[in-house]
Amino acid sequence: MSEAFDPFNVSDADDLFTATVAPTSAPVSPVKTRVPSFNIKPQYVAQDRAPPIVVLPKMDVKLKLHEEVTSKAVPGMGEDGTVELFVEGKVMAQAESSISKIPPFSLQITSPPSSECDIVYQNFCKVQTERKIQVSKQRSIKCKVDIPQPKAECEVLRYSMTAETSNMPLLVQSKASLKGNVCRVGIQIRSNLSNQGDINDLSISVPIPNTMQESTVKITRGADTGSWDECKRLVTWKIGTLPHGQSVLVSVEAEISHTMAQLVADDDISSTKFNEKIQCPVLIRCSSLSDTLTDFALSASPWMEDPSTLSLQQGQSYRLLHRVPTRK
């Protein structure tokens, strides 16, 4: 009998999966390669570095300029006229810093010529330079200020001056008129449009001369704010605040004395002599927290040798006593 037909040797399947194949060649050992050694040193490329950040101390400076002013209108200089001023002012400073010691700062002053303005400095305010401004003929003064105490308000300097101006914060018109035997005095005051703020503490006073009968005094305008002091022979209106650009009108009247009435009836009396007899000057008191009356100006900046980041706040104020002759 012939052998069974088995072309794929299925009968030897177990040997097929268990048989090992003899290696055809010897195992190959790993080849070691040698890397050439070079004498190479690491190279560093120089790069531009930003300079170190320097934090400057912060400094807050407050400057306050206050003026006490006495003024008098010059008669015969037009409706508004020229006003003579006598001013006593002072500059106060207060400083705070982010460090314990307050750095000094530079104070720049613009003032009228030395012949008109006298300045007295405190010992911690040292004048460094002073020059004359040719165009305005003013002085430019640079001072080094070293505040002795932090947060404390210190007086830096005082000044006094006499000057003339036609730009007053108040525009005053006063007039006296005679009708029969009754003399009426009217005063109109307007806040100047060039003011920075309102007029405060405004009061108007009119002394009543002996040529007018005190028993006949009558406030005809502003009766709600006016009062008559018979002992002082003084009429006073306490207006208070006068807003920027606003105006106020007050008036008072009284009969002239019997002696004056006889002079009026006399044809020989001149109008000039009569006007001298019924003089009623107007006294005005007021103040402001936003303005000054002179060209005295201030500014501040860091001192070059002790740099800082300076923040400046400025305030200015005045208190005024103004005298105006009554026009006929």
Choice between 214 and 17, residue whose per-residue pLDDT is larger: 214
The band of 225, judged by pLDDT with boundaries at 50, 70 and 90, is very high
- Write out pLDDT tens, residues 81-139: 789 999 999 999 999 999 888 999 999 999 888 778 999 999 999 999 999 887 778 89
The pLDDT, as a whole number, for residue 17 is: 45
pLDDT above 80 for 174: yes
- Tell me the average pLDDT across 72-76: 77
The band of 28, judged by pLDDT with boundaries at 50, 70 and 90, is low
The pLDDT, as a whole number, for residue 274 is: 59
The pLDDT, as a whole number, for residue 101 is: 87
- Determine contact, residues 296/65, Cβ cutoff 8 Å: yes
- Tell me the average pLDDT across 46-61: 78
The pLDDT, as a whole number, for residue 18 is: 47
CB under 8 Å to 150, separation ≥6 — which residues? Answer: 95, 96, 97, 102
pLDDT above 90 for 246: yes
- Tell me the average pLDDT across 204-208: 95
Considering only CA atoms, give the Rg of the chain. Answer: 47
The pLDDT, as a whole number, for residue 175 is: 87
The pLDDT, as a whole number, for residue 150 is: 86
pTM of the model: 0.76
> What is the amino acid identity at position 49?
R
pLDDT above 60 for 39: no
pLDDT above 90 for 45: no
The pLDDT, as a whole number, for residue 107 is: 96
End-to-end CA distance of the chain: 169
The pLDDT, as a whole number, for residue 16 is: 45
The pLDDT, as a whole number, for residue 116 is: 82
The band of 80, judged by pLDDT with boundaries at 50, 70 and 90, is low
The pLDDT, as a whole number, for residue 138 is: 87
3-state secondary structure the chain: CCCCCCCCCHHHHHHHHHCCCCCCCCCCCCCCCCCCCCCCCCCCCCCCCCCCCCCCCEEEEEEEEEEEEEEEECCCCCCCCCEEEEEEEEEEEEEEECCCCCCCEEEEEEECCCCCEEEEECCCEEEEEEEECCCCCCEEEEEEECCCCCCCCEEEEEEEEEEEECCCCEEEEEEEEEECCEEEEEEEEEECCCCCCCEEEEEEEEECCCCECHHHCEEEECCCCEEEECCCCEEEEEEEEECCCCEEEEEEEEEECHHHHHHHHCCCCCHHHHHHHCCCCEEEEEEECCCCCCCCEEEEEEECCECCEEEEEEEEEEEEEEEECCEC
pLDDT above 60 for 4: no
| Least confident interval from 45-54, 83-92, 156-165 | 45-54
> What is the amino acid identity at position 200?
N
pLDDT above 60 for 186: yes
pLDDT above 70 for 279: yes
The band of 259, judged by pLDDT with boundaries at 50, 70 and 90, is confident
The pLDDT, as a whole number, for residue 19 is: 47
Distance, CA of 214 to CA of 216 (rounded, Å):
5
The band of 78, judged by pLDDT with boundaries at 50, 70 and 90, is very low
Task: Give percent of the chain above pLDDT 90.
Answer: 54
Q: Kindly report the backbone phi and psi dihedral angles of residue 109, in degrees, each rounded to the nearest multiple of 5, phi listed first.
A: -120, 135
pLDDT above 80 for 301: yes
The pLDDT, as a whole number, for residue 41 is: 54
- Determine contact, residues 59/105, Cβ cutoff 8 Å: yes
- Tell me the average pLDDT across 57-84: 84
